[in-house]
Structure 1
């Protein structure tokens, strides 16, 4: 296993990490490792923007949008 060292971590941030880890019933190391895992499971901004760019484009007019909203409201 590899190690990661965080330098220049101010005391306030360290205390917040310690408190948060304690709330979760774990160590700072395990807590930070879970944060890293969670972050790496998420798509990057670039991936997210690429996915959005792949979505079908719609050119609805403002009137069509308002009509659809009104239609939805009238169904209630």
Structure 2
């Protein structure tokens, strides 16, 4: 499960499928092929994105759905 306090490097490694939806929401996690430093919340704060919880809720539901289908 992706949380606001998750380090971006960990997120990219554990949930690579979340990179594109996060970028679509304005949270670019990878630059020049490398993950950005800091937490997802810190990135959202820098980008002045206030609906991070809603964004993560949608992405976590999508990931959970895909994991259930893979079982």
Q: Which category of TM-score, normalised to the shorter sequence, fits these structures? A: 0.3 to 0.5
Which structure shows the bigger proportion of residues in strand conformation?
Answer: 2
Q: Which has the higher contact order (CA 8 A, sep 6+)?
A: 2
TM-score under structure 1 normalisation? Answer: 0.32
